[in-house]
Amino acid sequence: MKTYRQREKQGSKVQESTKGPDEAKIKALLERTGYTLDVTTGQRKYGGPPPDSVYSGMQPGIGTEVFVGKIPRDLYEDELVPLFEKAGPIWDLRLMMDPLSGQNRGYAFITFCGKEAAQEAVKLCDSYEIRPGKHLGVCISVANNRLFVGSIPKNKTKENILEEFSKVTEGLVDVILYHQPDDKKKNRGFCFLEYEDHKSAAQARRRLMSGKVKVWGNVVTVEWADPVEEPDPEVMAKVKVLFVRNLATTVTEEILEKSFSEFGKLERVKKLKDYAFVHFEDRGAAVKAMDEMNGKEIEGEEIEIVLAKPPDKKRKERQAARQASRSTAL
């Protein structure tokens, strides 16, 4: 695969098409930014990595990529880059192409060098009118690396599960397991498997769903886990509710109320199984309580506290759609 610049230096004229990009504008963009452009059958990749003068750190991780949809089919990097670089330094931009028409497929993925820039891109560019009457759709892209697995024997530990699933799948890095509230030695019959990347998770899902692979002699149930989406930082900055987990069965709402009320006035406390939500009237009091109470013991169990994430409407919609498909299948 040769870059746009390499081909130009070697004297190979880049294929011209009335439907393709304005090559003079693309050349001017590359000269201005110092980025490279790799053109293959299915995509045009700008950058990845960017020049050292722009960014010389590690490859960006989760939360730095945005999905850009509703792109006019005859629009290319010379219009996209100037718009999105306003949000922050771009690591790469991948514009998906239709080999038959020579035009783009109407969507692209842009990875930024940091999460803040990706979030800024959503604010600046979502619903942006890039052409008269043509508005872009921009959101944070979430590559799902996590599987939900059911039918797990309840006596298995995290270590047992990690060992067993590592035998039949590749790229497994972590197991997320929840214990029964009344018996910490038993799990709840399900777990989440975290893989190193989306490709490994997809391959593991296909293998486990094939019916040919058995774990502890059983065929397990497998689904994609709902992707972990980072809430808007501005929304999280206003949260006054604490999520308290790993509670002993003997912990009551009254005990929690007594423990947390010393940090500030409470609106209410709601305990469910081995976790609870503690609602404060003031955010400062909630943050102070989280900082000072996290890791403390209540009724013999070390509790864990984080700020509660606001309800995810999209997640509820996905769950409803999943439930509807199950009902139809039945």
* pTM given for the model: 0.52
Give the number of C-alpha atoms closer than 13 A to the C-alpha of residue 152, restricted to the C-beta side.
27
Walk along the chain (330 residues) and give the pLDDT tens digit of each residue. 444 544 444 444 444 444 689 999 999 999 999 999 999 888 999 998 999 999 998 888 878 999 999 999 999 999 999 999 999 999 999 999 988 888 999 999 999 999 999 999 999 999 999 999 999 999 988 777 889 998 899 999 999 999 999 999 999 999 988 887 777 788 888 999 999 888 889 899 999 988 888 888 888 889 888 765 556 667 778 899 999 988 888 899 999 999 999 999 999 999 988 899 999 999 999 999 999 999 899 988 889 898 888 766 555 555 555 555 445 444
Superfamily holding 233-307: RRM (RNA recognition motif) domain (3.30.70.330)
DSSP per position, 31-94: HHH---EEE-SSEEEEESSPPTTT--SPPP-TT-EEEEE---TT--HHHHHHHHTTTS-EEEEE
| CA distance readout (Å), 246 to 64, 188, 276, 296, 321 | 31, 14, 9, 11, 30
Residue 321: what pLDDT? 54
A 10 A CB-CB count for 327 gives 8
pLDDT at residue 323, as a whole number: 56
For residue 230, what pLDDT is reported?
59
Write phi, then psi, for 283 (nearest 5 degrees): -65, -40
CATH superfamily, region 23-140: RRM (RNA recognition motif) domain (3.30.70.330)
The confidence score (pLDDT) of residue 28 equals: 97
User: 146-224 maps to which CATH number?
Assistant: 3.30.70.330
Model pLDDT, residue 7: 47
Q: Would you kindly state where each structural domain of the chain is located, as residue ranges?
A: 23-140, 146-224, 233-307
Tell how far CA 302 is from the center of its chain: 29
Domain 146-224 matches domain 233-307 at the CATH topology level: yes
Termini Cα distance of the chain = 49
Q: How far apart are CA 105 and CA 115, in angstroms?
A: 26
**Confidence at residue 74, expressed as pLDDT on a 0 to 100 scale:** 94
**pLDDT of the residue at 180:** 78
Residue type, 101: S
**Residue whose pair of structure tokens reads 């069965």 in the numeric block:** 249
Structure tokens at 65: 């990529």
Distance CA 240, CA 89 (A): 33
Per DSSP (E only), the strands in 181-292 are: 183-195, 221-224, 241-245, 266-272, 275-280
